[in-house]
Structure 1
Amino acid sequence: MSEDQKKQIQQHLWNIANELRGKMDADEFKDYMLGFIFYKYLSEKMYLFANEQLKEDGLQYEQLIEGTTDGDEMLEFLQEEALEGIGYFLKPSQLFSTIANKGASKAEEGDSSFILEELTQILNYIEQSTMGTESEDDFNKLFEDLDLTSTKLGRTEKAKNDLIVKVLGHLDRIDFKLEDSESDVLGDAYEYLIGQFASGAGKKAGEFYTPQEVSTILARLVTTGKKRLKSVYDPTCGSGSLLLRVAKEVEEVGHFYGQEMNRTTYNLARMNMILHDVHFAHFDIRQEDTLEHPQHTDLQFEAVVANPPFSAKWSASSLHMTDDRFSQYGKLAPSSKADFAFVQHMLYQLHENGTMACVLPHGVLFRGAAEGHIRKYLIEDRNWLDAVIGLPANIFYGTSIPTSILVFKKCKEHPEQVLFIDASQHFEKAKNQNYLRPQDIDKIINTYRNYNAGTYSPPDSGGVAEGRGGQGGQGYVVEDKYAYIATLDEIKENDYNLNIPRYVDTFEEEEPIDLQAVSKELSDLEEQMGALDQKIANYCAELGIDSPVSSES
């Protein structure tokens, strides 16, 4: 399928959402729209899986007759195979297309309740089919946000039923080409919808979605120099989009790990994993507060990515001083700003040969007190900071503040240096927010990867150029007004302040002023004004009235 066809499907889905959600907020209707798309995916996946199993018998799944001896025996066999192969089971009568067709015909007969009841039973059945199996945790309460009794869908049972029937009918007519393993039509469409819902959700968007451009940067940073990853981890995984973006940058990811506090978003993340054909045995998404109740602390990961909530509150309880994630630093991040608490947590989970990249507010670069102490420890005692990247303002949903990306490695290629990139002026302005263009992303990544590979070297003018960090610093400019390589000594001279303008000189000199030319211009103007005054005086004399200007002008 061509990219244009994919985009047509994506736009069609968004048009359906806008047409059907009525007065419901985009963030509210998101759970229904994405949930029904997920149900369609599970149905089509089950149908394809069952037909593959029935190929030798020359049967199609819809030909099995439920309630007969032969039919039930075959269904029992298929259920065992499906639970092991795809992690869940659906009967032919429970498939999306069957319900959508039944709903359309029943609606014509005026039946206003049947589809709501039957659909609720089917969604519950999907979860129940996994009980006692390896996939149980991945499907447990997965559809709990699809409340088909909610008045948001309509005030009467008929209104609710009519809306659901329309949604299912529209979706049933779209072919997501699941049989084509090389074309991720549905996965791309799902990501597109999540992004569209995020754009209309305001501050809530930050809870479940990182703009795709930023996700791409984070993913490319942590996959630099690698074709395969054993594991990738996101401690604030939202919808799981960032984890999945990492997978697009390499040939294979062995296992995905994530944690998410919000229950609805946690459900969305699990759906997103399954829908992108990540086998249930290859992802482990947990629902809990990462800082207070971490779920994967016995593991370390080859790649860690995150877009944590900016300056969130946390307990900062003294009990955390005995927690291995924080104890070595000697101080905790302040209770009003958990940014460094997330950094400490992620570094604890980072493998010795891994790379971590996370988005943080600019305050982490220069704030003092406990944060300054932690920053100093990370740079001076551990030497884990690899790069600091400044991003443009107003590129995230729900906030207009400029942000930064910090890259950490426990085994740095250049242990005495830190790369600074100021990409804050490289973006395109849109109506409501700014966005990074492909060339902006490539510039950031190419600069980092060239640094990583040792491409850059100091100038040859008898030694290194003087840095901006202090008295005779030893850093040097990689690209004027864009990138600078600072030494640890330089950063120390700056008292471990990482504010990017201290290293990347973005000062624009004003053009010199030609005072002689300005003087002549003023003289010419004075002469012109005198001539005009004389003209006015002459006109007034002809009219016999007093002149408003002096006759000496």
Structure 2
Amino acid sequence: MSTSDIIKKTEDLIDALRATCGNNGLSGDGNEYKIVVQMFLYKFLNDKFGYELKHIQNEEYRSRFNEAAHWESAYTAMTDEEREDVWDYLPADTPKLKPEHLIANLYNRMNEGDFSSVFDNTMVSLGQLNADKFSVKTSGKSSVALLESLTNYVTDPDKRDDFARALINNLTTFNFEDIFHQKYDFFSTVFEYLVSDYNKDSGKYGEYFTPHAVATIMARLLVSPDETIHSAATCDPTAGTGTLVMALAHQIGEANCSIFTQDQSQKSTTMLRLNLILNNLVSSLPNVIQGDSLIDWGHERKDGTFDKMFDYVVSNPPFKEDFSQTVTNAAFKNTDRFFAGIPNVPKGDKQKMEIYLVFIQHILYILKDTGKAAVVVPTGFLTASAKIPLAIRKKLVDKGWLRGVVSMPSNIFANTGTNVSVVFIDKGKKDDKVILIDASKLGTTEKVDKNQRTVLSTADEDKIVNTFRNMEDVDDFSKVVSLDEIKEKKYSFSAGQYFDIKIDYVDITEEEFNRRMTEYKSTLAKQFEESHKLEEEIMKQLASLKFNEDVKGE
């Protein structure tokens, strides 16, 4: 089966799971995403387990699984001791499944009474068996289980058995085994399709879906292809579903970095965990924290400090959101971290609080002295004269940390009309050169539901990346400037303010010159004539006006 066929079947699986939810009154329900994501994950883990059994580093076991008509039957026929021995041979990121956890087992039991209980108990049991490997933590140190009961989301108890049967039937149409070696290149496409319907609620914290093209550009500009990196600590303090940090890990090399994330959205953290599992980054799951990054930062040293910890940081923080409770929390106070200050909470609409300015300061605080970062900001930040954005830009320039800025096309995010730019930071930068790119004219427009979205092609991505890496001046697209030039422009990061103003001169004959001048004079004469007529008419109208004595003032 080709990759395109598997992508199509995977998308069909996702659609079928959504349809099953819809048929049971759960379409658009707040729990629909849990059901779809969990069943997708259960399918993946089941097929992953079978794939690893067929490639196990034990010739006897490998033969038994590959020679059997169905590996599930061979595995079920083993003794408990043999199965535990098999587990010892499996890679560290492989889930453990008992025979009762297999999709095949649930399929064979679908005609049993109270099947919904069998189904739910299987999910919970499988999650508990793998809790040490696949759980994530909240900032309060509680564990969030891998799998949970699902049929209770159907309000009518009489429909729960059929709901569970329908979910299992959805999982039996194909197998993931042929694409496990592809990891990111395959699953980034599938993952975007999976989460697309669950990231439309314009503005909920941590739930914007960063377009794959933007994530790829950020990763490619942070890590050049000729770099050799080992043991890099990468972080996203506003991780969402993990698109940015996943692209960065892929650019560095999944085996060469550890991922640390935090996000206060339960939905986003659920999907982030799935993203890590799909891409063989199970070892980073203990570093996934669900909680408020600003008051309950979950990544710190043994002595409780957390400044200057990360080699790379990527972030698409919430731009405007109500964080009034956060900034009034006693744990939030840290003048070293928030050097530029805290934006005011708007009296009329707390949702307009410019919280991204606080996240930028947090990112600078946790970035190592040699670290690099890429942060998505509203384009207005590049020139804003208000105290806090100006103070942040001044620090980036005065410290020599600013590497470059890329202003993206409008509507690059389908669910927000805010124009965005990406600020690139390099604390270890040795030169005073900065590249400013205006990519606003790139891309093509497509309709996504009722919204217009700009899509960047591979050629567009390459143009941005190559121009940035080569530090090239390109007319009306990019400008390389010095830090002193930025200071002279009042710390503006807008590329357009640095472009050269050019006047195009066209050679014409004397005859052509005279013809054009005659046309200009003729046009002006007509306009002057019309103007005089209008003046005369106005004066006549004014002359006709008379005082009305019948109207008395109060």
- In the superposition, the TM-score normalised over structure 2's length comes to 0.76
Distance 1:185 1:494, change over 3 A: closer
Q: Report deviation, 1:505.
A: 5.8
Paired residues of 1:187 and 1:275 also in contact (CA < 8 A): yes
TM-superposition CA deviations, 1:299-348 (whole Å, max 9, x none): 6222211111112343445875535422xx25334452121211111122
Q: Report deviation, 1:496.
A: 1.8
- Name the SS for the 2:171 alignment partner: helix
Q: Give the Cα–Cα distance (whole angstroms) in 2 for the partners of residues 231 and 100 of structure 1.
A: 42
Q: Report deviation, 1:430.
A: 0.8
Counterpart residue number, 1:228:
229
Paired residues of 2:406 and 2:439 also in contact (CA < 8 A): yes
Distance 1:492 1:379, change over 3 A: same
Letter in 1 for 2:241: S
Q: Report deviation, 1:428.
A: 0.5
Q: Report deviation, 1:489.
A: 2.2
Q: Report deviation, 1:366.
A: 2.5
Q: Give the Cα–Cα distance (whole angstroms) in 2 for the partners of residues 360 and 282 of structure 1.
A: 28
Q: Report deviation, 1:491.
A: 1.9
Counterpart residue number, 1:126:
126
Give matches, 1:24-423, under 5 Å: 24-25=27-28, 28-51=31-54, 52=56, 55-57=59-61, 58-60=63-65, 62-63=72-73, 71-78=79-86, 85-86=92-93, 88-103=95-110, 106=111, 111=113, 113-114=114-115, 116-130=116-130, 133=132, 137=136, 140-143=143-146, 147-151=150-154, 155-177=155-177, 180-182=180-182, 187-188=187-188, 190-198=190-198, 202-204=202-204, 207=207, 209-224=209-224, 225-228=226-229, 230-252=232-254, 253-280=256-283, 284-297=287-300, 298=306, 300-314=309-323, 315-317=326-328, 320=332, 322-326=334-338, 329=339, 331-335=341-345, 336-414=353-431, 416-423=432-439
Paired residues of 2:239 and 2:262 also in contact (CA < 8 A): yes
- Name the SS for the 1:165 alignment partner: helix
Q: Give the Cα–Cα distance (whole angstroms) in 1 for the partners of residues 392 and 477 of structure 2.
A: 23
Counterpart residue number, 1:459:
none
Counterpart residue number, 2:496:
501
Counterpart residue number, 2:443:
427
Paired residues of 1:26 and 1:200 also in contact (CA < 8 A): no
Q: Give the Cα–Cα distance (whole angstroms) in 1 for the partners of residues 74 and 386 of structure 2.
A: 69
TM-superposition CA deviations, 1:94-143 (whole Å, max 9, x none): 1123213433xx1xx8x4x31x2122112211232245x46554794334
Q: Give the Cα–Cα distance (whole angstroms) in 2 for the partners of residues 200 and 322 of structure 1.
A: 34
Q: Give the Cα–Cα distance (whole angstroms) in 1 for the partners of residues 185 and 490 of structure 2.
A: 51
Q: Report deviation, 1:184.
A: 6.2
Q: Give the Cα–Cα distance (whole angstroms) in 1 for the partners of residues 165 and 389 of structure 2.
A: 57
TM-superposition CA deviations, 1:10-53 (whole Å, max 9, x none): 44234424533425128753321221010111122223334526
Q: Give the Cα–Cα distance (whole angstroms) in 2 for the partners of residues 519 and 163 of structure 1.
A: 81
Q: Give the Cα–Cα distance (whole angstroms) in 1 for the partners of residues 45 and 498 of structure 2.
A: 52
Counterpart residue number, 1:530:
none
Distance 1:200 1:342, change over 3 A: closer
Q: Report deviation, 1:294.
A: 1.3
Distance 1:312 1:363, change over 3 A: farther
Q: Give the Cα–Cα distance (whole angstroms) in 2 for the partners of residues 520 and 97 of structure 1.
A: 88
Letter in 2 for 1:308: P
TM-superposition CA deviations, 1:258-310 (whole Å, max 9, x none): 11111222122112211221132576211111111112243622221111111
Is the aligned partner of 1:444 residue 2:464? yes
Moved more, 38-47 or 157-166: 157-166
Q: Give the Cα–Cα distance (whole angstroms) in 2 for the partners of residues 345 and 295 of structure 1.
A: 13
Q: Give the Cα–Cα distance (whole angstroms) in 2 for the partners of residues 276 and 65 of structure 1.
A: 25
TM-superposition CA deviations, 1:422-449 (whole Å, max 9, x none): 1111121112322222222111111111
Letter in 2 for 1:91: K
Q: Report deviation, 1:144.
A: 6.1
Distance 1:141 1:484, change over 3 A: same
Q: Report deviation, 1:6.
A: 3.9
- Name the SS for the 1:43 alignment partner: helix
Paired residues of 1:255 and 1:283 also in contact (CA < 8 A): no
Paired residues of 1:234 and 1:257 also in contact (CA < 8 A): yes
- Name the SS for the 1:392 alignment partner: coil
Q: Give the Cα–Cα distance (whole angstroms) in 2 for the partners of residues 55 and 288 of structure 1.
A: 46
Q: Report deviation, 1:369.
A: 3.6
- In the superposition, the TM-score normalised over structure 1's length comes to 0.76
Structure 2: tracts of 5 or more residues without a match: 66-70, 301-305, 346-352, 507-512, 527-554
Moved more, 212-221 or 369-378: 369-378
Paired residues of 1:358 and 1:407 also in contact (CA < 8 A): yes
- Name the SS for the 2:416 alignment partner: coil
Q: Give the Cα–Cα distance (whole angstroms) in 1 for the partners of residues 29 and 368 of structure 2.
A: 39
Q: Report deviation, 1:373.
A: 4.5
- Name the SS for the 1:408 alignment partner: strand
Find the partner of 1:479 among 455, 474, 482.
Answer: 474
Moved more, 367-376 or 136-145: 136-145
Q: Report deviation, 1:517.
A: 4.0
Counterpart residue number, 1:533:
none
- Name the SS for the 2:177 alignment partner: coil
Paired residues of 2:121 and 2:149 also in contact (CA < 8 A): no
- Name the SS for the 1:85 alignment partner: coil
Q: Give the Cα–Cα distance (whole angstroms) in 1 for the partners of residues 75 and 469 of structure 2.
A: 59
- Name the SS for the 2:152 alignment partner: coil
Paired residues of 1:87 and 1:280 also in contact (CA < 8 A): no
Query: What's the C-alpha RMSD, in Å, of the aligned pairs?
Result: 3.6
